[in-house]
Amino acid sequence: MKWRRQPMIGVYFRIPDDEPVRFGHYFRGWVPMRAAQAVAAIRAEADPRGFQIILGRSIPPKDIARIAPVRGVIGWRHKPDAHGQKPCGCPACMARGEPGGVKIRRAWERAEREADEAWARAAASREAAGDPD
């Protein structure tokens, strides 16, 4: 989806307001609450990007009201507000085969190696100075 220009498709369905769900931001974790509370919480967010409402069960076909393209601009290609930021080349962010990925991955690997070396030098100089930490 990241590099393909295809319409994003939404599956629309209804669940009871008091249905237990988990609500939270995609990398900050989730908390249990009722479906109506989760909807209110996501609507109250100044920047709702990245919030999820997770239902712990499947939706039976009879409860699906509509399947249609999602309208408007939603989501992001890399991460929220990534435009203008240096891309991360770690294996989690930069999958193999992505355009420009080799260059970004190698720069990330070089920076990681340099950080490891700087950390090792700092640890060695602390040890030489007699600092037990």
Chain residues in the site for Zn ion (CB under 5 A): 88, 90, 93
Query: What letter would DSSP give residue 57?
Result: S
Q: Where are the beta strands (DSSP E) in the chain?
A: 9-13, 20-25, 29-34, 51-54, 64-69
* Identity of the residue, 53 or 88, whose beta carbon is nearer to Zn ion in the bound complex: 88
Q: CA of 82: how far to CAs of 61, 62, 92, in Å?
A: 37, 39, 15
DSSP conformation letters of 40-54: HHHHH-SS-TTEEEE
Q: How far is the CB of 74 from Zn ion (least distance, A)?
A: 22
* Identity of the residue, 41 or 88, whose beta carbon is nearer to Zn ion in the bound complex: 88
* Identity of the residue, 33 or 93, whose beta carbon is nearer to Zn ion in the bound complex: 93
Q: How far is the CB of 117 from Zn ion (least distance, A)?
A: 20
* Identity of the residue, 24 or 87, whose beta carbon is nearer to Zn ion in the bound complex: 87
Q: How far is the CB of 26 from Zn ion (least distance, A)?
A: 14
Q: How far is the CB of 93 from Zn ion (least distance, A)?
A: 3
Distance in angstroms (rounded) separating the CA atoms of residues 117 and 108: 14
Distance in angstroms (rounded) separating the CA atoms of residues 79 and 26: 11
